[in-house]
Structure 1
């Protein structure tokens, strides 16, 4: 099987499982698409929308009722998502639903403390975190708490890091915010869910509830956990994969979660079949349909090879295009080899082919929606600023130094990338009738789509994949990353020569 860009694949699994890979990557039939989305819409109670499919334009979402401007059109649950590594310094969120967790005090203290270690987003955070992973950040905070308990005080003595800024906050204050020994005024109005920890004992993942803890473990994390319960050689392999992803492209983390999701769902389907006494030991003609069924949610996403579908960057000459795409393929193969070392299973071997891995990454490039959750820290400081004068003056004795130390980064939201099965069916328009927009009540990572103008029954729901206020040529350049040229009414009107 070809690996794209005109050369054979360096991955032997591509050839060994070429037939199965071809089936996994074959476009679903119109009937299977209809059945899948009809069931998904029914399960999620999306009674006001329908998804149609045509061979010419693919999937599209249509309204089956009228929507007023600003009305909720869709609330779409994540299939798979991940917080950006550079954002983990700024925001402590649930690893499954991406709600902010802990307390306002913890969010502020943790962020300022980690920034003191040189890990802010404005200080090459991505590179720093690849050397100083999130688990180490968490352990630093654990060490602070342990020191506090052992000393019976809030101070951490001569071993502390010191803040070099003129508007620095004493480390003992940050420690008190982190460990809950210091309360800020009015934070009771912004209560956050308590923190639940990974059942496997790792320090990377945190949750807002037992439900999210269990769902993440059952869907993804049980294969990717680096905790004490993971076999040491496997744990080391996972850590190498994560370190490589953090240092290169964190989209590989998403690809790993897709593969983990499929393996775990395959196992579940197989267990159900075992109960019917139809045991099979290896991947064969009987087991492969189970793998196809486990893969079905991923099969519905439009996908191409990552290194083939990504637009050529402006700083890469067209004469170097083949080399550029080969470098991307080699980067993906390196990541795949590290992942294979960590979680490979013979029964699911086709999932570890470069062809499948490249298409999974390409799916995120072509279908992703930014994961955004507004920070309650921003809401908190806005509330303080809106207080009547006497209360505001008193509250700011504590909050003003913290706000000044945070600077412009006080309002940084949770940011990541996700794949949303229903939102991904919405086509682009440079004059869209809907938009992604988080309301005040939207506290987690679900995609929220609202009407940008009145929408009539039977009208296609469209969103913009880019900043639609850009000039025509810039819009078309950005949309090339999604693999198409926009022919919406606005683009037809603005097209040169028209």
Structure 2
């Protein structure tokens, strides 16, 4: 049986307005505005009825020239990958130090925490393999507390860790700027710390747990809804005379530009599901999304932004990421460090490898794990 969401019927007109595709003129104006804001030269976006949209050069470009540097609208580090890589919660660059990154990996490995080196959920391998070398007592602690400085690690400096403004233990940043930007754009509603602006931290924790156990794309959808709510509040504070719907549509504008379909209608069919069960499978996906939505609604609901908590909107947000999202990959400075040591000339290499080789053997293949997520 198809899942029914009360908000879908209550806010049908608003939902229809939000999901109406932008006109070609609106799309063109939006992309021209982005190119102008990013101070890009020599490119333009063209639309084609058959081929959709494309970025074209309007002048000759030099090899290696930066053409476009865009901002991430919303992004997410995959939950299992957080065990392997400590990165900024906003810009996703590695933080703290090469020593800390190595020490943290080895510490979690010593606890038997699984490592996910690009594997699917549920296929993570235990990091406590007997094939990995043991280190002298105290080395891991010395790496993490800064007592042990590795040779040539100064060639790979990383920014110090900045805690979450809300006091949670789930988000860390490379700078106060990134911390504040993330707080103002989405994290203030999704923080589980004592200064969280969510309706219920308990409900939020349940939502996060459900997403972690099922599909972390729900976390990306939650970021999108939080982003829209916070934009709406800023717009309302500056435009008190405008209607709630016009403000919501303006706040939703960046999301409206993405091609969308309901998640359960466009999700890739798993190999282990019989295609004769297509309808039942898609119903299960719809029910899973509705369960997630109910948990999120209990955590961050805003009555003035109620259409965002409809299953139709939620399903289309997730479907947008299913169809359009890109893999987020950030190379690990730990891998770069060991490659640097390996390329050193003798006798520098021999001297540096006295400690580096022990650490590399202890890490095993896990040394090269990069930051992985989706945007």
- What's the TM-score once normalised by structure 1's chain length? 0.71
Q: Secondary structure at the match of 1:76?
A: coil
User: Given that residues 48 and 64 in structure 1 are in contact (C-alpha distance below 8 angstroms), is that contact kept between their aligned partners in structure 2?
Assistant: yes
1:224 aligns with 2:190: yes
Q: After superposition, what is the alpha-carbon deviation per residue over 1:369-399, rounded to whole angstroms, capped at 9, x for unaligned?
A: 1111111111111111111212211111111
The offset of 1:62, in angstroms, is: 1.6
User: Given that residues 232 and 248 in structure 2 are in contact (C-alpha distance below 8 angstroms), is that contact kept between their aligned partners in structure 1?
Assistant: yes
The 3 A distance-change label for structure 1 pair 127 and 114 is farther
The offset of 1:70, in angstroms, is: 5.3
Structure 1 residue ranges, 4+ long, deviating more than 6 angstroms after superposition: none
Distance 1:243 1:395 in 2: 43
- Deviating more after overlay: 104-113 vs 45-54: 45-54
Distance 1:202 1:257 in 2: 16
Match of 1:51 among 38, 45, 54: 45
Q: Secondary structure at the match of 1:185?
A: coil
Distance 1:36 1:171 in 2: 58
- What's the TM-score once normalised by structure 2's chain length? 0.93
Match of 1:490 in 2: none
Match of 1:433 in 2: none
1:402 aligns with 2:359: yes
- Deviating more after overlay: 225-234 vs 334-343: 225-234
User: Given that residues 301 and 309 in structure 2 are in contact (C-alpha distance below 8 angstroms), is that contact kept between their aligned partners in structure 1?
Assistant: yes
Match of 1:95 among 83, 89, 92: 89
Unaligned runs of 5+ in 1: 1-6, 130-161, 279-284, 419-498
Unaligned runs of 5+ in 2: none
Q: Secondary structure at the match of 1:52?
A: strand
The 3 A distance-change label for structure 1 pair 190 and 57 is same
Match of 1:348 among 270, 281, 305: 305
Distance 1:174 1:68 in 2: 46
Match of 2:107 among 110, 113, 117: 113
Match of 2:98 in 1: 104
The offset of 1:125, in angstroms, is: 9.4
The offset of 1:273, in angstroms, is: 1.8
User: Given that residues 89 and 173 in structure 2 are in contact (C-alpha distance below 8 angstroms), is that contact kept between their aligned partners in structure 1?
Assistant: yes
1:80 aligns with 2:74: yes
- Deviating more after overlay: 293-302 vs 44-53: 44-53
Match of 1:12 in 2: 6
Match of 1:23 in 2: 17
Q: After superposition, what is the alpha-carbon deviation per residue over 1:328-359, rounded to whole angstroms, capped at 9, x for unaligned?
A: 11111111111111001100000000100010
Distance 1:166 1:78 in 2: 38
State the aligned residue count: 371
The 3 A distance-change label for structure 1 pair 211 and 326 is same
Match of 2:158 among 192, 210, 213: 192
Q: Secondary structure at the match of 1:389?
A: coil
Q: After superposition, what is the alpha-carbon deviation per residue over 1:283-339, rounded to whole angstroms, capped at 9, x for unaligned?
A: xx8111000000000000111111101232333222100001011111111111111
User: Given that residues 163 and 169 in structure 1 are in contact (C-alpha distance below 8 angstroms), is that contact kept between their aligned partners in structure 2?
Assistant: no
Rg bigger for which structure? 1
Q: What does 1:189-338 align with in structure 2 at a 5 Å threshold?
A: 189-230=155-196, 234-274=200-240, 278=241, 286-338=243-295
1:168 aligns with 2:110: no
What RMSD in Å do the two structures reach over aligned CA positions? 2.2
Match of 1:463 in 2: none
User: Given that residues 126 and 247 in structure 1 are in contact (C-alpha distance below 8 angstroms), is that contact kept between their aligned partners in structure 2?
Assistant: no
The offset of 1:8, in angstroms, is: 4.7
Q: After superposition, what is the alpha-carbon deviation per residue over 1:160-196, rounded to whole angstroms, capped at 9, x for unaligned?
A: xx99665122462111111112111111111101110
User: Given that residues 307 and 313 in structure 2 are in contact (C-alpha distance below 8 angstroms), is that contact kept between their aligned partners in structure 1?
Assistant: yes
User: Given that residues 385 and 392 in structure 1 are in contact (C-alpha distance below 8 angstroms), is that contact kept between their aligned partners in structure 2?
Assistant: yes
The 3 A distance-change label for structure 1 pair 122 and 87 is closer
User: Given that residues 81 and 417 in structure 1 are in contact (C-alpha distance below 8 angstroms), is that contact kept between their aligned partners in structure 2?
Assistant: yes
Match of 1:434 in 2: none
